[in-house]
Amino acid sequence: MAQNARLQNLGILVLCVLSFPAMTTAQQSALNLMPLPANVQTGTASLRVDSSFSVAFTGYTEPRLERAGQRFLEQLRKQTGLLFLNKPGDSGKVALVVHTDRASKEVQELGEDESYTLEVTPNGAKLDAANPLSVLRGLQTFLQLVGVSPEGFAAPAITIKDQPRFPWRGLLIDSSRHFTPMDVLKRNLDGMEAVKLNVFHWHISDNQGFRAESKKLPKLTAVGSGGQYYSQEEIRDLIAYARDRGIRIVPEFDMPGHSSSWFVGYPDIASTPGPFKIDEEWGVMDPAMDPTNEKTYKFLDTFIGEMAGLFPDRYFHIGGDEVNGKAWDANPKIQDFKKAHNYKTNEELQTYFSQRVQRLVNKHGKAAIGWDEIFVPGAPKDILIHSWRGTEALAAAAKQGYRGILSNGYYIDLMWSAARHYAVDPLGGAAADLTPEQKQLVLGGEATMWSEYVNWENIDGRIWPRTAAIAERYWSPESVTDANSMYARLDVISQRLEWLGLTHRSQPRKMLHRIAGPATPEEFAALLALAGVLEPVKDYTRGESTSYQAITTTPLNHMVDAVPPESDAGRRFSELVDKFISTSCLDGDARERLRAQLTTWRDNDAKLQPLAQRSFLVKEVASNSQDLSALGTAGLAALDAIAKGQPAPDAWKAQQLAIIEQVKNPKAQLLLIPAPAIQKLVEAAASAGACAPPTT
Amino acid sequence: MAQNARLQNLGILVLCVLSFPAMTTAQQSALNLMPLPANVQTGTASLRVDSSFSVAFTGYTEPRLERAGQRFLEQLRKQTGLLFLNKPGDSGKVALVVHTDRASKEVQELGEDESYTLEVTPNGAKLDAANPLSVLRGLQTFLQLVGVSPEGFAAPAITIKDQPRFPWRGLLIDSSRHFTPMDVLKRNLDGMEAVKLNVFHWHISDNQGFRAESKKLPKLTAVGSGGQYYSQEEIRDLIAYARDRGIRIVPEFDMPGHSSSWFVGYPDIASTPGPFKIDEEWGVMDPAMDPTNEKTYKFLDTFIGEMAGLFPDRYFHIGGDEVNGKAWDANPKIQDFKKAHNYKTNEELQTYFSQRVQRLVNKHGKAAIGWDEIFVPGAPKDILIHSWRGTEALAAAAKQGYRGILSNGYYIDLMWSAARHYAVDPLGGAAADLTPEQKQLVLGGEATMWSEYVNWENIDGRIWPRTAAIAERYWSPESVTDANSMYARLDVISQRLEWLGLTHRSQPRKMLHRIAGPATPEEFAALLALAGVLEPVKDYTRGESTSYQAITTTPLNHMVDAVPPESDAGRRFSELVDKFISTSCLDGDARERLRAQLTTWRDNDAKLQPLAQRSFLVKEVASNSQDLSALGTAGLAALDAIAKGQPAPDAWKAQQLAIIEQVKNPKAQLLLIPAPAIQKLVEAAASAGACAPPTT
């Protein structure tokens, strides 16, 4: 019943959003906000932010708001370098007045009000917020408004009325495949707050390690974690840290599969005899809990009961994905059980397990959330379907009255571009055809940071800045879809996230220094230039490689671990080529910039050679470096051919395309991003009419 | 007596050092060690360091050694990206065996043995250490030996016998002018350990804030700190942290001057009537303790007693510097006291104060250390003179049997080059003429990080990497003086310190992003290019500026706060000009590199202009940017003139030199470093015989 009331609230929110007009791209770009607010009216002039700036709170108050005020000034200090003379609440000239209507829920709930109004004038700013949660959202917007101006730091005059499009805006971090240290988690929660995400989905157990301390079942971490786990004190600390930032923590204990690490200490609940060990490899593993054994449910009753006390959130994620059934097929007793219950398939057996576990979750006061697989006939209506399969699965569930969130399309471990994730909408695809009422059952989505190839060092660079674009998808109106605007603002938010303490820009540079070893400035510049146009291979290519088999202890210190998922330099080069060709190759400025860039690439390999001689980690990318040189040469040849004013011969074109085709093959798990754009140049050079004769 | 025994030990150490032969420059450069060890014998081949690497401890053991082993593997992990399969002490193939003879002192003492022998062969490494302190030193040497090689990470085969030249190797951080957060202190202690410094001199009180919690005199921090102070728990935590790293913490409570902050809560001990406030400005202030009032000594007895219990080190720094006497002159009672005691000068009055305070320090079980001013007739022989005045003062004290350490020449707030500090020797100048016995009284030195213009954000960049060069001065044999070798190794250690967690390379980049605001890659590159050839003005020029008056709350977010004290690009350009001219301007490669660099500089201002229009922080350096452009133009003109093969006319020379002279004027508190080198080019171009006709 309470649940229904919440859903009705959500419905009202969604309608409100739609009533706000969409902004033009120009308006979006001028404001370096991410996510873009639901409604913005820009004014003229701006509010000066200097050392005398202060913030005061009126209306409802609580310690969390005081801390938020201190943190706000601290963040403002970091992003401006100003030292503020006043503490929050000090009297004197107050630049920002925050009014809070009422308290938030004691435990943050799905669908709680996050709306706020922020008005900035040259004389001061006013943030009107429904509750502390809304205050947090509004303060982050204000921080993003403050920038450097010709006269000093300032926030533009503006009126913002804002609220989220979706109530469930999450980031999953997998702390099992690689352990995520507490400081890394905390700085990523800071990043989540900055872009208004509100659910941290903590994938805290899997085959490769059980990471949450259980006092009642201590062997889970004693022998199932390799010594890397979170104490209950640390978990409580992180939950408090998240609450201060308006973030719920939803723990996931994946079962009945993905659970080898449980069985190291408790083999009795497994379907096959032990002994078990913590898995070191990646992939879908055979071990699974025994769904036919009452011991399993007794164990889970104890375990879920304890964890339900530890994690205050209403939702409890029970996983449920990727059970291959081999362990069940191998156990005659389980086969007997299936026959006795007339289960034809292992899916039916898993349905039985899911129903039992969901009842245990309910018994301990929680609602269950799980991957698509838990959506089985007769599942209780309060479950929440977490879809890795896609909008079709989500739509099918919604049509039967089940709520869901989307992660398909937001798998940030697949190394897609920000634009590709950005184009995925939880209400897109099959969900677009749902009725308005059914659409209200789609609550949002989660970016998923599976950690096979990330650790403390490169995780920030995998999550950020792309997750800021995904956060915009979840928060901003459906009409906000301009990828160019997104990239322009993403570049700004990315730097702001570094000021906040994230390391997605600075740590890769340190990794490149490690790859290089001692180097001259010229040598290191050559390595930077190469790294700047490389991207890791996409999707699950890395895991499928036969030449490279990583396990949990494989060092993540190679070039593929250091370079960002998306090459900014590659994207800009591609845009420049498109621009050049769109002018029939007449744009002289674009031509000269292309020529300069291609020349640098052609000559880069020679500069990198000394490093490749000294460092095995550079030697690994020697082929990529030679390929870049080849691309530079091919691109220059194309420009020369274009300059001749007549289509280049077919033989030449075939030769160039063969080179480029070879370059497109991944090497050292890396792609050379400019290849397609240079192919375009070659094709333009060889195509009648594509490029007019140059005007020189 | 114990003291004398210690001094004799020191004497033996010094003699040992002298018995080791000096290394050639080539040997020094090949090994990226800093400080260079006392004795090195290089071997052939190397020890591979991969995931199977492990460390084991034999002989004496204690928890500190276990933590050191864990920290060692953690640092090795950070610098290689390897994940080690074994924990310290695990059985199996052990690559590094550490043998410890005996325990260190319970409280680390001045002159304790820090010697070790490290032998690396392709089959394994062995570290033989006298005690845990020596282990710490040897482990850092091993870490510095490990680097990237063509085959993987490796340490070269080598035998090192090492010990320090001086027993007191310190870094002072002034936490009063700007408060230093705990995490900043800790990462700087990590840096100190990496370069084998062993004394952290904590300047913890001054006019601008009293930072150490006193439970007996709580108003010291309650009203004297502006809320920024260290709790006793934090202080104990830092002391333990330092002990783990083989670092003593010597607190300094500066008195009777530099003490305004004491008087805010306790005006009774001041020489003039209150009320007092925490000073916001820099400089020598008038307030001073009343040396004639018994209340003062009662207060100090209580205070020193409490602090002597908090800080375990034998030495207690009582400051004593820069009393201008105005407060004493203004107080008739103090004048009466002087007459009654027949003191002619305020210096004599301070002598009286010093003697009383030194007795209190002794009473509470400590030895006093203080600035030159405490070296007064009749001072107890166990005091230690900390010389800001120089080697003459130190030599004078040594001749009377007093021990001392040197800071003159190591004031890293003066923005000198690493080479300039490196050239200063505690036993140089007047101390060079001391007898061997007197020389033994010169115990070492301290780099001093006065914090008028540094805060949490730029302090790392002021301390590092220059302090590594100073650390080498204190540790390595006197004969190690080659600045070229030092710079080559400094560049390597600088990157290693970043891996360790220091931010001297990464944070300035973040500051530049703040200065720029949102920028295109080209615009930001232009800002980087300009910043790369700027240095802050030297000595106390900044404080003496009339156009710029900083106080404690002045933002340190300007270009002068971001750029390093020393421009690497400027130094390299100057070397290239010297090389070019030394070949009678015939070196074609050098000429082309000069031309490319000068062209970049000439054209840089145009690229920076858009940023200067948008950001006041860039606008502030618009003149510097125009100057760089002018330098580029002048340099290119000089190259053109040289190409003509005959001396350029005097009028041309005068015109160019006038431009350069104008450029040399500091602007925005910044110097443009290439100016003198370009002046050399101009003079060479105009000088008959300096440059031969080019061979083209």
**Test mutation, B557, B575, B592, chain A, max A CBs within 10 A:** B557
Hey, how many other C-beta atoms are within 10 angstroms of the C-beta on A571? Answer: 18
- Contact indicator for B190, B242 with CB cutoff of 8 Å: no
Give residue A2's pLDDT band: very low, low, confident or very high (50, 70, 90): very low
| Pick from B133, B238, B153: nearest CA to B196 | B133
For B321, how many CA atoms within 13 A lie in the half-sphere containing its CB? 20
Give residue B13's pLDDT band: very low, low, confident or very high (50, 70, 90): very low
Structure confidence at residue A136 (pLDDT): 98
Q: With contacts defined as CB-CB under 8 Å, which chain B residues touch A74?
A: none
Structure confidence at residue B688 (pLDDT): 84
Q: With contacts defined as CB-CB under 8 Å, which chain B residues touch A453?
A: none
Structure confidence at residue A16 (pLDDT): 31
**B-chain residue closest to A513, CA distance:** B495
> What is the pLDDT averaged over residues A568-579?
97
Task: Write down the catalytic residue from B322, B478, B575, B683.
Answer: B322
Structure confidence at residue B26 (pLDDT): 41
pLDDT at B4 over 70: no
CB contact under 8 A, B147 and A517: yes
CB contact under 8 A, A148 and B616: yes
> What is the pLDDT averaged over residues A10-24?
35
CA of A319 to nearest chain B CA: how many angstroms apart? 29
> What is the pLDDT averaged over residues A130-156?
97
> What is the pLDDT averaged over residues A330-336?
97
pLDDT at A1 over 60: no
Structure confidence at residue B292 (pLDDT): 97
Give the tens place of pLDDT for each residue, A62-111: 999 999 999 999 999 999 999 988 877 666 677 999 999 999 999 999 99
Give the tens place of pLDDT for each residue, A236-271: 999 999 999 999 999 999 999 999 999 999 999 999
**B-chain residue closest to A77, CA distance:** B555
List Cβ neighbours of B324 (8 Å cut-off, separation of 6 or more): B257, B284, B285, B286
Give residue A28's pLDDT band: very low, low, confident or very high (50, 70, 90): very low
- Measure CB to CB from residue B613 to each of A83, A150, A152 and give the nearest one: A150
**B-chain residue closest to A85, CA distance:** B553
Give residue A688's pLDDT band: very low, low, confident or very high (50, 70, 90): confident
Structure confidence at residue B415 (pLDDT): 98
CB contact under 8 A, A616 and B492: no
CB contact under 8 A, A85 and B492: no
CB contact under 8 A, A614 and B150: yes
Window 46-65 of B: residues touching A by CB (8 A cutoff) are 51
pLDDT at A24 over 50: no
pLDDT at A597 over 70: yes
Structure confidence at residue B690 (pLDDT): 84
Name the E strands within A168-289: 168-174, 199-206, 209-210, 248-253
pLDDT at B18 over 80: no
> What is the pLDDT averaged over residues A434-447?
98
Give residue B90's pLDDT band: very low, low, confident or very high (50, 70, 90): low
A520/B contact by beta carbon, under 8 A: no
> What is the pLDDT averaged over residues B646-674?
96
CB contact under 8 A, A83 and B568: no
Structure confidence at residue B87 (pLDDT): 76
**Residue-wise DSSP of B324-370:** --HHHHT-HHHHHHHHHTT--SHHHHHHHHHHHHHHHHHHTT-EEEE
**Test mutation, B490, B493, B495, chain A, max A CBs within 10 A:** B495
- Judge if ipTM > 0.85: yes
Q: How far is CA A316 from the centre of its chain?
A: 21
Strand partners, A294: none
CB contact under 8 A, B518 and A491: yes
CB contact under 8 A, B81 and A555: yes
Structure confidence at residue A545 (pLDDT): 75
What is the residue-averaged pLDDT of chain A? 93
Structure confidence at residue A159 (pLDDT): 98
Q: With contacts defined as CB-CB under 8 Å, which chain A residues touch B492?
A: 518
Structure confidence at residue B689 (pLDDT): 82
- Contact indicator for A604, A529 with CB cutoff of 8 Å: yes
Q: With contacts defined as CB-CB under 8 Å, which chain B residues touch A514?
A: 79-81, 148, 499
CA of B519 to nearest chain A CA: how many angstroms apart? 9
Q: With contacts defined as CB-CB under 8 Å, which chain A residues touch B615?
A: 148-150
Window 634-673 of B: residues touching A by CB (8 A cutoff) are none
Window 397-456 of B: residues touching A by CB (8 A cutoff) are none
- Contact indicator for A200, A242 with CB cutoff of 8 Å: yes
CB contact under 8 A, B506 and A509: yes
List Cβ neighbours of B655 (8 Å cut-off, separation of 6 or more): none
| Dist. CA A642–CA A647, nearest whole Å | 7
Q: Which amino acid is at B279?
A: D
> What is the pLDDT averaged over residues B281-308?
96
> What is the pLDDT averaged over residues A124-149?
97
CA of A307 to nearest chain B CA: how many angstroms apart? 31
Alpha carbon dihedral A355, A356, A358, A359, in 10-degree steps, equals 120
| CA B512 to each of CA A402, A512, B111, B517: distance values in angstroms, whole numbers, following the listed order | 50, 21, 43, 8
CB contact under 8 A, B615 and A148: yes
B80/A contact by beta carbon, under 8 A: yes
Give residue A26's pLDDT band: very low, low, confident or very high (50, 70, 90): very low
Structure confidence at residue B551 (pLDDT): 87
**B-chain residue closest to A29, CA distance:** B518
Give residue B86's pLDDT band: very low, low, confident or very high (50, 70, 90): confident
Structure confidence at residue A92 (pLDDT): 63
CB contact under 8 A, A614 and B515: no
B147/A contact by beta carbon, under 8 A: yes
CB contact under 8 A, B513 and A506: no
A615/B contact by beta carbon, under 8 A: yes
Q: Is the pTM of this model over 0.90?
A: yes
CB contact under 8 A, B614 and A492: no
| Dist. CA B611–CA B599, nearest whole Å | 20
Structure confidence at residue B378 (pLDDT): 77
Give residue B483's pLDDT band: very low, low, confident or very high (50, 70, 90): very high
B572/A contact by beta carbon, under 8 A: yes
Task: Count residue pairs from A and B with Cβ separation < 8 A.
Answer: 112
Terminal Cα-to-Cα distance of chain A (whole angstroms): 76
| Dist. CA B464–CA A238, nearest whole Å | 33
The question of whether A322 is a catalytic residue gets the answer yes
A11/B contact by beta carbon, under 8 A: no
Strand partners, A403: A384
| Dist. CA A15–CA A437, nearest whole Å | 11
Give the tens place of pLDDT for each residue, B27-80: 444 689 999 999 999 998 999 999 999 999 999 999 999 999 999 999 999 999
Give the tens place of pLDDT for each residue, A342-355: 999 999 999 999 99
Structure confidence at residue A7 (pLDDT): 33
CB contact under 8 A, A615 and B492: no
Give the tens place of pLDDT for each residue, A545-556: 777 678 888 999
A555/B contact by beta carbon, under 8 A: yes
Structure confidence at residue B436 (pLDDT): 97
Give residue B7's pLDDT band: very low, low, confident or very high (50, 70, 90): very low
pLDDT at B6 over 60: no
Structure confidence at residue A544 (pLDDT): 81
Window 461-500 of A: residues touching B by CB (8 A cutoff) are 491-492, 495, 498-499
- Identify the helix (H) or strand (E) that includes residue A361: helix A346-363
